[in-house]
């Protein structure tokens, strides 16, 4: 199963309300869902939302806390991980974001805020390879994504998979992390296929 200790953007562009709710639990299909501590799967993931979605979430329940332009959801996703919503001024424009922070780390919210500002202040639109893969995972329907099971070699089990179409060969599953650049481009929407990497930006 994939986990990361880095703060990571998981969707390109501003998510609609439907997309936002879907991404709140984008690891729902993970194997052994109710076993172990999946906090590392969620904590430190973030994506952009619209102002209406931000305000809607603020009004659902009284927040756990409000700090300036940020608020925390009262209901925790798991353990000490909960949703933090941000309204951040970037390049003179207020934009809105959702991130999962582990509140057992008192610095996690500020680190998330700074990481979002740094990422979104780049002078040119760009996507890293990891961001491309996360966007593909976030936007692929549940029927076409999953996790490698018992039929896969032992080292691959539990890793994320996506369905690819091989023309005359039919469809087949492939590990998300093993997608080639051409396969990534084919899975991305047209407007994201040719964005430069940050190195080239």
- The kind and range of the H/E element at 89 are strand 81-90
CA 97, distance to chain mean position in Å, is 11
The tens digit of pLDDT for each residue in 121-142 reads: 876 677 889 999 999 999 999 9
What's the pTM?
A: 0.86
**Domain assignments of the chain as residue spans, ordered by start:** 8-120, 129-192
Q: How many CB atoms lie within 10 A of CB 162?
A: 19
The per-residue pLDDT of the chain, averaged, comes to: 87
The tens digit of pLDDT for each residue in 50-92 reads: 999 999 999 998 999 999 999 999 999 888 999 999 999 999 9
């Amino acid at each position: 199963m994939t986990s990361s200790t880095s703060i990571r953007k998981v969707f390109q562009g501003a998510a609609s309300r439907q997309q936002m709710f879907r991404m709140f639990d984008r690891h729902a299909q993970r194997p052994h869902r109710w076993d172990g501590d999946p906090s590392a799967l969620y904590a430190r993931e973030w994506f952009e939302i619209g102002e209406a979605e931000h305000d809607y979430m603020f009004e659902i329940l009284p927040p756990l806390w409000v700090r300036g332009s940020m608020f925390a959801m009262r209901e925790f996703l798991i353990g000490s991980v909960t949703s933090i919503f941000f309204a951040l001024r970037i390049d003179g424009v207020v934009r809105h974001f959702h991130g999962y922070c582990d509140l057992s780390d008192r610095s996690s919210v500020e680190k998330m805020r700074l990481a979002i500002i740094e990422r979104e202040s780049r002078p040119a639109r760009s996507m890293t390879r990891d961001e491309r893969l996360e966007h593909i995972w976030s936007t692929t329907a549940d029927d076409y994504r999953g996790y490698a099971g018992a039929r896969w070699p032992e080292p691959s089990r539990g890793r994320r998979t996506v369905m690819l179409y091989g023309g005359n060969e039919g469809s087949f599953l492939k590990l998300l992390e093993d997608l080639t650049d051409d396969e990534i481009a084919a899975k991305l929407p047209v407007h994201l296929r040719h964005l430069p990497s940050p190195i080239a930006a």
